[in-house]
Structure 1
Amino acid sequence: MAKLHLSDREISLIKGLLTHKGMNDQQVLAVFSYLDRNMNHREIAQIRRGDKPRYVAIAAAPLAEVDELLYHYAKIASLADRLGFCEMDPITAKVHKAVEIMKTAIMVYNNNMIVTRSETFIVLGVIAWTYLVHAHLEAQSVDPIYRTPDGTDVLIDGKPKYWELTYCLGRPEAALTKGMINNLRYIIAIRNEVEHRSYEDINAEIQSKIQAAALNFLRYAKEKFGPKFDFSHDLAFTIQLQALTLGSPNMIKGVGLVSKSVAAVNALIEEPMSPGDFNDPDYAFRVHVTPKVTNNAKNADQAVTYNPVGSNIEIAIKQVERPKFRQKEAMERLEAEGVPHVTSHTFQKAWKSKNLKNPGKGMAILLGGVWFWYQEGIDAIKEIMLAGQG
C-alpha cells in the first residue's frame, strides 16, 4: 500500500484539532485513519511539532471548520454503534432507540398529508422522551423502577414496572429545565385529553409545543450523551411545493376557534403560569412568518422574513423573545410606572379607543381564550391614558 500523502486541508484540520480541541496524537489519528488509509501516529506528532516547513506554513483550520468535522465524525461513531463494531452498553442502546423513535415522530409530523400527525407525534414523542430520560437516570445510577416499601420491584405481568414519564418529571436527577417540564406536562395532558375523547383537528393549535418538545429532546440528547446523538442535520427543512405567501392554505392566519380538548389543557396548564414560564421557548417555541416589507416580527420566538414570490429569495431567522402579560399584570405595570386611576374600566376604555386588540397591530394576542398584552400594547395604553388625563 502506497504511503499516504496528506492534503493541505487535512493538515490544516489536524492542526485545528490539536489547537482548538486539545486532542492528543492518538485521538487525532482515530479521526483521520481507517482500513484503507495507511497513516502513522508519528506523522501527527510531526505536524504538531512542525517538523517540516510545509507543516509550519499551513495554518490551523478555524474552530467552525473543526466543529463541522467533528459533527460529521460523530455520525460515523453513531453508525459504528448501530453496526455492532463494539458491544453497546444498555444505556447507549436505549438512547439510540429513543432518537430513532423521535426521528420517526418528526418525520410523521412533517407529513402534511397525515391528518392525525400531532396525535402521532405526541404518542411517539412521549415514548422517545421516556426512553431518553430513563437512560439519563440510569447513567446517574438511578434505577427508574417502582418499588414497594420493603424495596422489592413492583411487577406487571412478571416484569418490573418502570416509571412513567410524568413521574420522571418530578425527579431532580432527570436534570430537566422548568420549561422542558412544563412542555412535557402539556404534551402528556394533550395525549390524555385526545386519547379517547376528541376527534378535532389540533395540528395548528399545539404546533409551538411540539416544536419545543423536539428541540428540547435534541438538546437534552446532545448535552447528556454526546454529539453522536445530534440528528439536527438529518431533519431540517422539508420540500415546499407551494409558494410561501400569506395566502398559502397551510399558513396559520389570525386566531381561530380552539378545539375543546386543547382549550381544556390550556386552562389547566397555562392559567397558573407566570409570564416568564409562559414565554419560555423550552415550553413553546413559536415561529411567525411575516412579509419582508413589514419588518414586523413581534409575535414569535423566531421570525422568518421573506421577499415576495418572484423576487430574489431572502430568508432570515432571528431570536425575538417578547414577554406577554395578562390584563391584571399589565395594569400593575402601568401603576408601577406612575399612571394614575388604573382600573379595569379605564384600561378597557383605553385599548378600545384605538382597537389595540386588532391582531394586525401586534399589541396583544389571544391564547387559550385569554388575552395577553405585549409591552408595546401596555406602552400604547399608557400613552392613551396619560393623554386623556392631560
Structure 2
Amino acid sequence: MPRKRRVKSVKTELIKKAREAMLAAVQIYNNPQVTFKAESFITLAVIGWTYLLHAFFRSKGIDYRYYRYTGKKKVYDKTKYGAYKHWELERCLNEKDCPLDSDTITNLRFLIGVRHEIEHQMTDKVDEFLSAKLQACALNFDYYICKLFGDKYNLSKELSLAIQFSPLTPEQRDILHDNSHITSNVKNFVVDFENVLSEEALASSRYAYRVLFVPINAKRKGQADQVVEFIKSDSPLAEGIEKTYAVLKETEKRKYLPSEIVSLMKEKGYDKFSINKHTELWKSRNAKDPKYSFGVLISKTWYWYETWLKEVQQHCEEHADKLRS
C-alpha cells in the first residue's frame, strides 16, 4: 500500500521550492553574463510566489484546486495527463483569504501583466525600465516568507549587493533615462497600468523599491569599508538629498488628446484653429515619428506631450492673422 503523504510534507516542499525559485530569480538577474534578466526574473518570481501562496492556503485548509459542480458532486479539473489544475498566481491574489497587502498585490499584478506581454514578443533591454518593481518583488517575498512561515526561511542573508566594475558615467545615466528602446507593447502596458493607480500606490516601496545612491568620501575610520551606508530618513543629510532628488527625478509626462490641444489654442484666442488644421500641422512635420518624442501611442490612441503643445502654440503665434477672427 503506497504511503499517504502528510499535509505538512507537501507544504514544506512548496515553501522550499518557492524559496529556491526566488533565489534563482535574483541570482540570474545579478549574473553579468546573462542578458535575459528581467524576463527570467519575472518567470521564476511568479512561480515562487505561486508556490508560496499554495503553501499558505494548504496550511489554512483552503482548497486551491480548480473544480466545478456536476449536480451536487464536486468534479476537479485535470490536465491532459491527469494532474490536478491548481490556481495560478492571479487567482491566488483574487482569493479573499490572500495574506498579502494591497501594494504587494499591485506589484505582482504589474509583473504578471508584463509577463503576458513578453510571452508573445521579444523584448529589448527592459531590465532598468522594470528594476524598481523587481527589487520590490524580491523584498516583498522575503518579508512574507518570514512572516508566514518563520525567519528560518529568510533569503536576505544569502544574497548581497551586486558589485559593478565601474561607477555610473553620465553616458550610462543618459542611456538608463532613455526608454525609447522599450518595445511599445510593454511601454503601453506600463502606462495603462499606472494611470489608474493612486499616488499612494505609486509611491509605495511595496510596489516599486527605489534607492538613491550618492558617492561620498569617508570622513571617519571604518566608514570606508562600507559600500552602502544607511541614514535615517528624517536626518538633515537625507532631507538635503531628498530636495536635490526632487529636482532631478523623472516624472511621467503630461499627455494631451488632439481635442484638448485645439481647445487650449481656442482659449488663447486662435478660434479658427481646428482639428483639421491640427492634423494638417502634425502631418506636415511628421510629428508622430518616434525620433521627435512629441507623443506616444497607447492602446491605439495617440497622446501628445507638452513639447508638441509648445510647437502648436508657436505655430499659432506665427500665423495669428489667419487663425484669429
TM range (shorter): 0.5 to 0.7
**Alpha carbons of 1:248 and 1:138: their partners in 2 closer, same or farther (altered >3 Å)?**
farther
Q: Is residue 178 of structure 2 the alignment partner of residue 256 of structure 1?
A: yes
Corresponding residue of 1:181: 105
User: In structure 2, which of residues 49, 55, 76 is the aligned counterpart of residue 153 of structure 1?
Assistant: 76
User: In structure 2, which of residues 19, 25, 29 is the aligned counterpart of residue 105 of structure 1?
Assistant: 25
Aligned residue identity for 2:246: G
**Alpha carbons of 1:173 and 1:252: their partners in 2 closer, same or farther (altered >3 Å)?**
farther
Aligned residue identity for 1:89: S
Aligned residue identity for 2:179: L
Q: Is the 8 A contact 1:109 1:118 kept in 2?
A: yes
User: In structure 2, which of residues 27, 50, 69 is the aligned counterpart of residue 130 of structure 1?
Assistant: 50
Aligned residue identity for 1:247: T
Q: Distance in 1 between matches of 2:174 and 2:99?
A: 34
Q: How far does residue 292 in structure 1 lie from its aligned partner after superposition?
A: 3.1
**Alpha carbons of 1:285 and 1:320: their partners in 2 closer, same or farther (altered >3 Å)?**
farther
Q: Is the 8 A contact 2:107 2:133 kept in 1?
A: yes
Q: Distance in 1 between matches of 2:51 and 2:214?
A: 38
- Identical amino acids, percent of aligned pairs: 28
Corresponding residue of 1:219: 143
Q: Distance in 2 between matches of 1:187 and 1:318?
A: 30
Q: Aligned runs of 1:192-341 on 2, under 5 Å?
A: 192-240=116-164, 242-243=165-166, 245-247=167-169, 255-258=177-180, 259=182, 260-292=184-216, 312=224, 315-318=228-231, 320=233
Q: Distance in 2 between matches of 1:361 and 1:108?
A: 30
**Alpha carbons of 1:206 and 1:110: their partners in 2 closer, same or farther (altered >3 Å)?**
same
Q: Distance in 2 between matches of 1:199 and 1:263?
A: 11
**Alpha carbons of 1:235 and 1:249: their partners in 2 closer, same or farther (altered >3 Å)?**
farther
Q: How far does residue 195 in structure 1 lie from its aligned partner after superposition?
A: 1.2
Aligned residue identity for 1:278: L
**Alpha carbons of 1:135 and 1:202: their partners in 2 closer, same or farther (altered >3 Å)?**
same
Corresponding residue of 2:10: 90
Aligned residue identity for 2:215: P
Corresponding residue of 2:37: 117
Aligned residue identity for 1:152: V
Name stretches of at least 5 consecutive residues in structure 1 with no aligned partner: 1-86, 294-305, 322-358, 372-390
Q: Distance in 2 between matches of 1:251 and 1:316?
A: 22
Aligned residue identity for 2:230: I
Aligned residue identity for 1:112: P
Q: How far does residue 160 in structure 1 lie from its aligned partner after superposition?
A: 1.5
Find the residue that maps to 1:205 and give its secondary structure: helix
Q: Distance in 1 between matches of 2:177 and 2:171?
A: 15
Aligned residue identity for 1:141: G
Number of aligned residues? 232
Q: Is the 8 A contact 2:128 2:176 kept in 1?
A: no
Q: Is the 8 A contact 1:186 1:269 kept in 2?
A: yes
Q: Is the 8 A contact 1:204 1:252 kept in 2?
A: no
Find the residue that maps to 2:212 and give its secondary structure: strand
Q: How far does residue 200 in structure 1 lie from its aligned partner after superposition?
A: 1.5
Corresponding residue of 2:250: 366
Q: How far does residue 370 in structure 1 lie from its aligned partner after superposition?
A: 5.2
Corresponding residue of 1:339: none
Find the residue that maps to 1:132 and give its secondary structure: helix
Provide, for residues 57-79 of structure 1, a one-character-per-residue CA deviation record: whole Å limited to 9, x for no partner.
xxxxxxxxxxxxxxxxxxxxxxx
User: In structure 1, which of residues 148, 154, 164 is the aligned counterpart of residue 88 of structure 2?
Assistant: 164
- TM (norm. structure 2) is 0.64
Q: How far does residue 253 in structure 1 lie from its aligned partner after superposition?
A: 6.4
Q: How far does residue 138 in structure 1 lie from its aligned partner after superposition?
A: 1.0
Find the residue that maps to 1:152 and give its secondary structure: strand
Q: Distance in 1 between matches of 2:27 and 2:110?
A: 21
Find the residue that maps to 2:214 and give its secondary structure: strand
Q: Is the 8 A contact 1:180 1:283 kept in 2?
A: yes
Name stretches of at least 5 consecutive residues in structure 2 with no aligned partner: 1-6, 235-242, 256-325
Provide, for residues 316-373 of structure 1, a one-character-per-residue CA deviation record: whole Å limited to 9, x for no partner.
224659xxxxxxxxxxxxxxxxxxxxxxxxxxxxxxxxxxxxx9763364355559xx
Find the residue that maps to 1:288 and give its secondary structure: coil
Find the residue that maps to 1:125 and give its secondary structure: helix
Aligned residue identity for 1:96: K
**Alpha carbons of 1:248 and 1:93: their partners in 2 closer, same or farther (altered >3 Å)?**
farther
**Alpha carbons of 1:205 and 1:252: their partners in 2 closer, same or farther (altered >3 Å)?**
farther
